[in-house]
Chain A
């Protein structure tokens, strides 16, 4: 029983990683109805920027803030420069751009920062608690994820801007008629998603160590989590992320073995989408003809 509890806690810890990345995916989906496959790589690149700042002597939280701001600008610029011109083109062209971005960020990170492992500092230092299965960083990252989640949720739920953004994504033409500047909304959405991704990266890196391929494994599980909880729903995505972490750990340890964990993620995705496509927390949208 001991082992089970420990696996559970380990699952919650890795679930935190997936949850924070899932939040970024949800943000971009809410804002653009696209899923950015390059989200993970952009987050990783932002984390390197933070590391460069910290190594130059900038205090942690200042570097944190600068990185979030820089990532925001990066996301917004990418949206304006690369994606807006393709708005009238087939959807597949946008996906092509995402793939291109993925390759560019990954390769550029390796070229600029090297491939050896880097340690990324955490602001939540200290000895492990709870029998060594949860570190102060895990708790701190959890809190940060909750803060971001609350901010995102509140943004979409209570602010006019959030409403405008969702409207722009759902129905650009009608939104324009309502006076919403759709282009600005899209750029804003990308900027916010990039910022959330940067935060996710900075929370994840202390745990997994920073290298250019840090996010490639996380992405699939983050997607699975976001889908499981509901990709249109920030709370759902976070819960889904944690759930995936727990399921993956427990199933890997007790059910299917480590050699089928990826397959399990696939099966989960398929099962969820078959049974409840909107995710656990999502609202099923019924369209009547």
Chain B
């Protein structure tokens, strides 16, 4: 009898660490002693496949990280799936990541409608949805959706910044807005409304939308010029930004032109449109454009260039998606480092909301990532810059958009 008790106790004592370890492991889903599983969905097929570059950037980034030894002795197992920018597919792929692959968290998954489709799911399942790749404002609703956080400045924030600038520099301006007819474009309108307040109706005299499937925006350009506006805000993706820059030059219309940061790339937008034609163009930005001569010797960008040469030698360097990806991946690593040994989902989320003045090398000086328990707008600062015909000239102070 005594022997049985002794054996049982001994057995229990031996088993205890194993039990404890598995209990410990159960508290860190997606994490083993060798690896951390990170999930991601991106558009690798379909009309939005240009953004597939972001996912490719991350694959390369984590490969480099693993080559350098990983984090805390663990390698990163980065799993990315194609959702073709289709929300139902996003649901399928995200469920696969969470339920089949058992990832610890999803990182920088792409798109507003796509991530909206899994917004509730991730929060119900209590899986961190960190640094969503979208400028929608909803990712900062940290009270209702505590397991989600964005990264880039929201489009609405940018709209507010432009409104501030217009009020300060052209208070009786008549504004025309060219916007893409989706959440991206419409968020700018909302931001302008935020910033202009009750002056919005008086100042904004023309709102011209376009669809991504529109071949040209000539008709919109003509309409906006005819309205007599002397300020133009363009919430347009690269192709249409290049078109509008060229068209207003051809129409001999010289409004104060404000352009979304999504389309500031020199090689991808300004050069095709014609560098001299864009003179006077103003845009806000938070990260550096590789083809801009002012960052030619910048150490942060050199780090990025070295990385691209080694790990993505065939990629187009003028594709700003790779710069974007590098910046947000750096933030992810910072978050993981801050987690230390506790890589539970709760702590991962807690650290995502605990980033103090973290500055990836690709961000413009003055812009940084900063989050707190009640502040889920990671990047709120943007720098205004003016195109002088040859390069972007930063001017003024870094402007802060609305916080939490």
Contacts and interface: CB of A to CB of B under 8 A. Distances in A.
Interface of A: 2-3, 6-7, 10-11, 13-14, 17, 107, 110, 114-119, 128, 131-133, 135, 204, 207-209, 211-213, 216-218, 220-221, 248-249, 252-253, 258-259, 261-262
Given A217-B212, A217-B215, A258-B181, 17 more contacts: A14-B219, A17-B216, A115-B53, A116-B319, A117-B239, A117-B242, A117-B268, A128-B250, A131-B252, A132-B250, A208-B239, A212-B50, A216-B213, A217-B214, A218-B215, A221-B215, A261-B214
Contacts of A119: 271-272
A286 B225 CA distance: 49
Contact of A253 (B45, B47, B212, B223): B223
B318 interface: yes
Contacts of B213: 216-217, 220, 262
A213 B47 contact: yes
A116 B251 CA distance: 26
A3 B215 contact: no
Interface stretch (B203-211, B279-287, B303-311): B203-211
17 contacts: A3-B223, A13-B218, A14-B219, A115-B52, A115-B53, A116-B318, A117-B239, A133-B222, A133-B250, A133-B251, A208-B215, A209-B239, A217-B211, A221-B215, A249-B222, A258-B209, A261-B214
B215 to A, nearest CB: 5
Given A14-B219, A132-B251, A207-B216, A2 B272 contact: no
A258 B236 CA distance: 15
Interface in B16-73: 45, 47, 49-50, 52-53
Nearest to A118: B272
Closest 3 A-B residue pairs measured CB to CB?
A3-B226, A115-B50, A217-B213
A208 B216 CA distance: 6
Contacts of A212: 49-50
Interface in B158-187: 181
Describe B's contact surface by its main secondary structure: helix
Given A116-B319, A216-B47, A14 B216 contact: yes
A5 to B, nearest CB: 10
A204 B202 CA distance: 38
B238 interface: yes
Given A114-B316, A208-B243, A6 B226 contact: yes
Nearest to B219: A249
A210 B342 CA distance: 49
B334 interface: no
Contact of A14 (B215, B226, B250): B215
B375 interface: no
A37 to B, nearest CB: 15
A10 B218 contact: yes
Interface in B229-274: 238-239, 242-243, 250-252, 265, 267-269, 271-272
Interface residues of B, number: 40
Contact of B226 (A2, A110, A248): A2
B355 to A, nearest CB: 31
Contact of B210 (A6, A213, A220, A258): A258
A10 B239 CA distance: 18
A253 B44 CA distance: 35
Contacts of B243: 208-209
Contacts of B211: 217, 258, 261-262
A66 to B, nearest CB: 23
A11 B213 CA distance: 17
Contacts of A259: 181, 209
Contacts of B225: 6
B220 interface: yes
Contacts of A249: 218-219, 222
A107 B316 contact: no
Given A116-B267, A258-B210, A252 B219 contact: yes
A221 B215 CA distance: 9
B268 to A, nearest CB: 4
Which of B45, B181, B216, B271 has the most A CB atoms < 10 Å from its CB?
Answer: B216
Given A7-B223, A110-B50, A17 B268 contact: no
Contacts of A107: 45, 49
A117 B238 contact: yes
Nearest to A115: B50
Given A10-B219, A211-B239, A252-B219, A117 B316 contact: no
Nearest to B253: A132
A101 to B, nearest CB: 15
Contacts of B268: 116-117
Nearest to A14: B216
A117 B181 contact: no
Contacts of A17: 215-216
A107 B243 CA distance: 24
Which of B218, B251, B252 has the most A CB atoms < 10 Å from its CB?
Answer: B218
A253 B222 contact: yes
B316 A253 contact: no
Contacts of A114: 316, 319
A248 B242 contact: no
B49 A110 contact: yes
Contacts of B272: 117-119, 209
A6 B222 contact: yes
A264 to B, nearest CB: 12
A249 B216 CA distance: 10
Nearest to A248: B219
A135 B52 CA distance: 35
Nearest to A207: B216
Contact of B208 (A116, A248, A258, A262): A258
Contacts of B238: 116-117
Interface string B297-332: 000000000000000000010110000000000000
A235 to B, nearest CB: 22
Contact of B219 (A7, A132, A209, A213): A7
B214 A3 contact: no
